[in-house]
Chains A and B, each alone.
Chain A
Amino acid sequence: MIDALRYEWTRITTLRSTWWISGMSVLVGAGFTFVVWMFLRLTSPGDIEGELVGDGARFYYNAAMTQFSNVDPMFYLVTYAVAILGILSWGHEYRHSMIRATLTTVPQRWTVWLAKYLVVGAWVSVVVVLTCVLSLVCAMLWFAGLDADFDAAYLLAALAKRVVYTVMVTWLVMSATVLIRHQTFALVLLYLWPLGVETLIRFMGLIVGAITGDSSPDGLRFMPFNAAGRLVQDVSITDPTGGIQDSLDLFGNPLSFWGAFLVFGLYTFVLMAASIVAFQKRDA
């Protein structure tokens, strides 16, 4: 296993695309926070002022640190950038015929498979942590002068949720890449499915709900990326209370964190299991 980890570590660190994607993710994430909060503080100083306490303070700090990904239906931008590394980790194997060189270097397939998931998972986790910390620093520059409560435990949990979310999304798209063995198609899928297909279905659900006078169909919350979003979202634009949703039913509507973890985790687990079986059985 150590051999496979060494291989994967050297593989990921000797690719320029790894550094570009990681660096750009950190810069764009933190830069987004810097620019947005600069804009808010300079153009609308009256909107956020005085004393910020409780949910208000938590919301603003979380939104600043995670580029508003705490708001349903927003997505966490950094995840969709660094998940590309997961696609490339398998995509390069097939696109550049590296898989045979890889397996003649480390012939135990399950170790190759596991090493990729561990190394890429660790790498994207570090990128997320760096982005969050840098974003928080940027936000605090513009929060200077505000009397805002700093709930470190809440923010730490928010950061941990981004790590879990990003690792799970990355592992899911890695598994899809193993199964389809086509890098470009996997990249298209990464964006088209959550941002296109699921958003469209959700939008259609809203239309149906508006026509019939009911709320949108309950089952939509179990769609993979809608469920995944609930791993990081704790505020909803459709929630009339506007507060932080911290006491939700496990599989209620919307899903709680643990409900989302179980639902999206199941999707991820199924795809990962299918990918290891396919990788073991197929010709290289």
Chain B
Amino acid sequence: MAVIQARGLAKAYGGKTAVGGLSFDVLPGTVTGFLGPNGAGKSTTMRLMLGLDRGQGTCTFDGKPFTDYHQPMRHVGAVLEAKPFHPTRTARNHLRMLAAPSGVPDHRVDEVLGLVGLGDVAGKAPSTFSLGMGQRLGLAAALLGNPHTLILDEPANGLDPQGIHWLRNLLRSLASEGRSVFVSSHLLSEMALMADHLVVIGRGHMIANGPIEDFTKQSTRNHVFVRTPQARELAALVGQRLAGEGSVQLASADVVTVVGLDAEAIGALAFDNGIRVHELSTRQATLEEAFLEMTGNMQEFQAVAPPPQGSPYGQQPPPPGPPPGSEQPPPPSSYGEQGPQDPNGGAR
């Protein structure tokens, strides 16, 4: 049973779509990462899920909208702001205040403060807290009611490397207890280690939704690299074998890159046809590469590349790309679509 079911979440500001009909599930026992470029609508989506923003669509937690819960802290914990507290109210009093409506006892307040490492500053006003300490206090608030679901918006912001490591272990541990964790982050390397599933959006629309492996598999940067003195022959053979289900590229005179066929199959093909192979390796796209590829044209805010050193402002920098003769991955293609292919089955 899906703990969180979001259906058709949508929101527009002044006619401009911020979130355009998102639907996804967050399953119990998993960490679901929520990714998207700046301005993609992640925070808005999370606020819609919790009934904080007014929009269209529904979101249920175990079948009930968040706003229908009595003492929701005991069911859903949320961190939506980096420093959502009054600067002069002590950390302990801040949590006592949040705990009061749900009847969470004071000893639980001290317990979660200890859990997030703020036990020593529990009696201090958070006006002097760093961003990381503020995040820890926010996490403590989310954990107060020992909820089965967590919704965390950029919880790793401001955390030091130890803090990020701690957060990863904490969220993995909570998920392993059967809880649902829905977390947004820009730290893709962390997300790769932490998340089981991904929901990726761009400009408010769904880009990907599923297991993290499936997402990285979609990347056209996944390819098999082959170095062989008979590159042209091998490329032609691979092209015939692919029959439109992938792509093969003759990267240089002795290098072939293949998408859509694994290393074992290519090795066997080369062996069967008497082709000498000097190197055969698989290159797996990272989450970051896959994310950048998928969201490349979905950025709300695009920075302008700085001009090359010594050139006057306004002059166009040369187009990015690998130096001549270097390894070049195959051109991008969408998951499930046919890659670029020579109609004759030969190498392109």
- Which residues on A are within 8 Å of B, measured CB to CB? 3-4, 6-7, 9-11, 14-17, 92, 96-98, 100-101, 103-108, 281-284
The listed residue (B53, B69, B73, B96) touching A10 by CB distance below 8 A is B96
The listed residue (B51, B81, B96) touching A14 by CB distance below 8 A is B96
Q: Which of A17, A281, A283 has the most CB of B within 10 A?
A: A283
Shortest A282–chain B CB gap in Å is 7
Interface contact B80-A3, CB-CB below 8 Å: no
Chain B positions 128-169 with a Cβ under 8 Å from a chain A Cβ: 141
Is B98 in contact with chain A by the CB < 8 A criterion?
Answer: yes
Question: Looking across the interface, which residue of chain B has its beta carbon closest to that of A4?
Answer: B101
Q: Which residues of A contact B51 (CB under 8 A)?
A: 103, 107
Interface contact B78-A3, CB-CB below 8 Å: no
The listed residue (A16, A96, A105, A107) touching B67 by CB distance below 8 A is A107
Q: Which residues of B contact A284 (CB under 8 A)?
A: 47, 52-53
Interface contact B85-A106, CB-CB below 8 Å: no
Q: Which residues of B contact A16 (CB under 8 A)?
A: 88-89
Q: Which residues of B contact A10 (CB under 8 A)?
A: 93, 96-97, 100
Interface contact A104-B85, CB-CB below 8 Å: no
Interface contact A98-B102, CB-CB below 8 Å: no
Interface contact A9-B80, CB-CB below 8 Å: no
Chain B positions 27-82 with a Cβ under 8 Å from a chain A Cβ: 47, 50-54, 66-67, 69-73, 76, 78, 80-81
Is B87 in contact with chain A by the CB < 8 A criterion?
Answer: yes
Q: Which residues of B contact A105 (CB under 8 A)?
A: 72-73, 98, 101-102
With A96-B87, A107-B66 already in contact, the answer to whether A283 and B52 are too (CB < 8 A) is yes
Q: In the assembly, what is the distance between CA of A67 and CA of B75, in Å? A: 52
For the complex of A and B, list the 7 residue pairs with the smallest distance between their C-beta atoms, beginning with the closest: A3-B101, A14-B93, A284-B52, A10-B100, A283-B53, A107-B67, A6-B100
Chain B interface residue bracket vs A: 20 to 34
Question: Looking across the interface, which residue of chain B has its beta carbon closest to that of A101?
Answer: B84
With A100-B80, A100-B81 already in contact, the answer to whether A15 and B98 are too (CB < 8 A) is no
Interface contact B52-A103, CB-CB below 8 Å: yes
Question: Looking across the interface, which residue of chain B has its beta carbon closest to that of A15?
Answer: B89
15 A-B pairs whose Cβ atoms sit less than 8 Å apart in the complex: A3-B70, A10-B97, A14-B90, A15-B88, A16-B89, A96-B83, A97-B81, A100-B52, A101-B85, A103-B50, A104-B52, A104-B78, A107-B51, A283-B47, A283-B53
Shortest B210–chain A CB gap in Å is 28
Interface contact A104-B50, CB-CB below 8 Å: yes
Is B86 in contact with chain A by the CB < 8 A criterion?
Answer: yes
Q: Which residues of A contact B141 (CB under 8 A)?
A: 101
Interface contact B101-A96, CB-CB below 8 Å: no
Interface contact B101-A98, CB-CB below 8 Å: no
Chain B positions 268-286 with a Cβ under 8 Å from a chain A Cβ: none
Q: In the assembly, what is the distance between CA of A123 and CA of B262, in Å? A: 73
